[in-house]
Structure 1
C-alpha cells in the first residue's frame, strides 16, 4: 500500500476495499495558470476531447494562448474555433482580470483551499465544480471535495448509503484533511467498475 494512503484508510477502511478490487488510482496533475483555467472553462458541459480540439484550434489561430492574445482577437474568430458565445465571455473576462491585476493566479500556490476557492468563484463562468477541479488537479490541494460531481454523488450513495448532498458532505467531513485523495478513490471506483 502506498504510504500516503494509510492515514485515509485508517479513517475509512472501505477505501482499502476499492484498492484491493481495482488497484491504486492514477492521480493526474495539470499545470496551473491561465491556460489550465481556460481549458477547464472549455470543458464545461462537453467532452474533454471536444474541449481539447477547441483549445488546439484557438492556440493555432492565435499562435499562442495568453491573456493579451485572447483580448486582441474578435469574438467571431473565437466562435469560428468552436467556442460558444458564453464561454468566449468567460475566457475573455478571465484574461481581462489577469491583465488588470484583479486576480493573481500565481499567488494561489501560497493560499489555502478556501481562499483560492473564494477568489475563483467570484469570476464570471467559474462555478463550484470548476474551482474545485482547479484546486485538485492544478494546485494539488489536499482537502477538496467536489460534491457537485455526479460520479462522486453516485459512488457516495453506493458505498456509504448517503442519499442527500448534506449527508454526503457530512460523511466526507470525516476524511479531512484528505478529501482530495478520497475523491480520487471515489472516481477510481466509479470508472473502473464501468471499465472506463
Structure 2
C-alpha cells in the first residue's frame, strides 16, 4: 500500500495535491460472495444512502440474503420492500445462476481479471461497473478502473482537461499497475470535498 501510494504521488502531481488536502484514501473492502454482489446490484444508479435503506429492508424481509431465499420470494414481495422491478429481475438472475452453478463465486479469486469480468457480466443485470467494483472491493484487484462510475467521471473532469470516457481511459494508463488505488484517491477527493464519509453497511 505505501509503495503504491508513493508510486502515484511521484507519477502524477494531482495525487500529491489530493494527499496534501485530505490524506490517504479510504480503501473499501467487502467480503467476497453473493451478498456483496446483491448490494452492488441494488447500488446501481442510486445513491448509497438509498441503496443501504433498500438492502436493509431486503435483509429484514429474507432474514438471510442468499440465492435460495431470493429465488423463492415472490417478485411482488421484493418490490414491496423497495427493490425496483428491474432489479428484482437482476437479483433473481444472479440467484438462479448461483443455484444452477452457472456462476461459482468461490472460484472467481483464482481467475484473471478478464475472466472474472466475463463470468460476472454474463449474468443479466451485471455490467462492467458492477463487475469492476466487485473486483476492487471484494477481490482486492489492484489495476481496475471503473470508468462507468459517475463520481469518478465527474472528479476526473474537475481535475484534468478531459471530457470523454476515451480521454479518461487514456489518462488512466499513466496510473498502471495501481489504477484501483488511483480510483480510491478520486473517490476520496469526491467525498471529502462534499463533507461526506464512505458508507459502510
Give the TM-score band, short-chain normalised: over 0.9
Question: In structure 2, how many angstroms separate the alpha carbons of the residues matched to 1:88 and 1:46?
Answer: 15
Show the counterpart of 2:111: 111
1:44-64 deviations in Å (ceiling 9; x for gaps): 222222222222222222221
TM-score scaled by structure 1?
0.93
Show the counterpart of 2:199: none
2:54 and 2:83 in contact (8 A); partners too: yes
Change (3 A) 1:153 1:53: closer
Would you say 1:54 and 2:54 are equivalent positions? Answer: yes
Question: In structure 1, how many angstroms separate the alpha carbons of the residues matched to 2:91 and 2:176?
Answer: 33
> RMSD of aligned C-alpha atoms?
1.6
Aligned residues: 196
Show the counterpart of 2:126: 126
- How big is the shift at 1:163? 2.2
Show the counterpart of 2:148: 148
Question: In structure 2, how many angstroms separate the alpha carbons of the residues matched to 1:63 and 1:97?
Answer: 21
Change (3 A) 1:84 1:186: same
1:60-106 deviations in Å (ceiling 9; x for gaps): 22221111111111112112212111111110110000010101111
Unaligned runs of 5+ in 1: none
Unaligned runs of 5+ in 2: 197-201
- How big is the shift at 1:13? 2.9
Question: In structure 2, how many angstroms separate the alpha carbons of the residues matched to 1:191 and 1:56?
Answer: 23
Question: In structure 2, how many angstroms separate the alpha carbons of the residues matched to 1:66 and 1:179?
Answer: 32
- How big is the shift at 1:134? 1.0
Show the counterpart of 1:88: 88
SS of the residue corresponding to residue 54 of structure 2 reads helix
Moved segments of 4+, more than 3 Å? 1-4
SS of the residue corresponding to residue 126 of structure 2 reads coil
1:113 and 1:143 in contact (8 A); partners too: no
TM-score scaled by structure 2?
0.90
Q: After alignment, is 157-166 or 14-23 more displaced? A: 157-166
- How big is the shift at 1:160? 2.3
